Every structure is written in structure tokens, then in C-alpha cells.
Structure 1
Amino acid sequence: MTYLIFLFLIGLVLGLVAVASNPAPYFAALGLVVAAAVGCGVLVGHGGSFLSLILFLIYLGGMLVVFAYSAALAAEPYPESWGDWSVLSYVVIYVLGVALVEGGCQVGWYSNSWFVVDEFKDFLCCEGFSGVALMIRWVGACWLFVDEFFWWLCLLCWSWLVG
């Protein structure tokens, strides 16, 4: 089960890279569907099967509407694929960026790693609170404040430029 969730997480990262490289609306929508499917697969692996099903159905309905509008508005006779050099360079940059961030988070990660608790027969834990312990730690709290500060700073700069 752990290997399956690991494969789902790799698929989630690759699906998000496919959306971020955005060669054409058709391929970006396909990457979004893949990311939604494997993200819901991760939820199923952690025991949220009903939540995963509802989220997937609602998310696919919303993506269908967005895909229809984007395909109608941005129809290209020769859309760029992921094999083109311009798009492939973005894919390589995004994958290297994810690898560098993951490598930077690897320091000390072995003692605080997330894992599926269902694999262990003698150890019971409520899965809903598994990530809370990591967020309460000093590093998680610092990242939360840095992220909030960044978005408030972006909002302030945007309002300053517009107004």
C-alpha cells in the first residue's frame, strides 16, 4: 500500500508539472485530470474513499466546464505538445525545481516522515490528525508565516500598483 501511495504522489507531481508547463489548453486539461485522479487516489489510500469520490466528481465537473471554454476560446491549429523544445525546457526546469526543494527538505526528514499508519498492526493512530504534528513544529509554523507574509506582500504591492 505504501508503494501505491508513493506512485500516486509521483503521479500527482508529474500531473502538476504537466499543468504548469501548459503547452496548450488541451494538454493542460489532461494534466489537470491526471493530477485530480491521482490526488483522489492518495485520499483513498489514506482512508477517505467517499470524500475522494465526491471531490473527484465535483472537480471533474468543474474542469469539464473550464476545458470547454478554454478549448473554444484558445483553439490552435497546431498546438504545442510536451515534446517541443520550448515546453520540454519548462518541464525540465519544474522537475529540477521539485527535486531541489525535496532535496532541501530531506535533512532530518527521516525522523518526521508521513506514512500510512494502517501498515502497522500494533500501532493505532487517527489518520485525520497525522499532519497536525508536523505543522505544529517550528519549521512548519515558520513556513506558514513566511507564506502568509508573502501573499500579504503580493496583495499590498498589487493594490499599490493599481491604486
Structure 2
Amino acid sequence: FAALGLMVAAGVGCGVLIGSGGSFLSLVLFLIYLGGMLVVFAYSAALAAEPFPEAWGSRSVMGYVLVYLLGVMLMGGLFWGGWHEGSWAVIDEMKEFSVLRGDVGGVAMMYSFGGMMLVICA
């Protein structure tokens, strides 16, 4: 019942966010939370089923970690310059009428300016 209690508590917290006006943000946070629980469950099930698990100190694991960190640094250096220039905008207090709320407009801005990084990370 502990996992059910965590899901109910997350649902109530997202309901509070919906009451405050952040409908899209609460949906995204709830899906991220449930996805995190799914990842932890899958990892623990895979680790329990593996007959010869690799440790962090073994050479093969350290090789994978170094290749991953090198790739992250390379992609970070490639996309670092100019990422913040168009990402700041006034939300919900615009001078003209808008049909979008701030959280939905922020998602559109994230996909437009960070689309290539999103494709690389996915």
C-alpha cells in the first residue's frame, strides 16, 4: 500500500497545482513522477534477475561511464553558446491579449529553442 499512498499523495499535490492555475505543469510533474517510479521498479527487477552483476569499479563499467561523460561534454560544448537568448519571456501579464497560458507557452518555447537537444537526449 506504500506505492499506492505515494501515488495518491502525488495526485493530491498535482491537484493543488491545478487549483493554482498550473494545469499543464501538474500533468507533466505527475507523469515524470510515475515514470521515475517505473524506472526504479524496472531497474530493481533487472538487477535482482542478473546472475553476474557488474560493479561500478570494474573496467568495463568505467569505460562506459567515461565514453558517456565525453559525449555529454562534447554535446554540451556544441550547444552551449547562445542557448539563453530567446528563453526569457513575461508570463500571464502580457500587454496584449493571449489565448495561451504561461506554462503552455513555455512548453512551446522549450520545443522551439531546445528541439535539437531534446532529440539528442531522447
TM-score (norm 2): 0.48
**Which has more radius of gyration?**
2
Higher helix share: 1
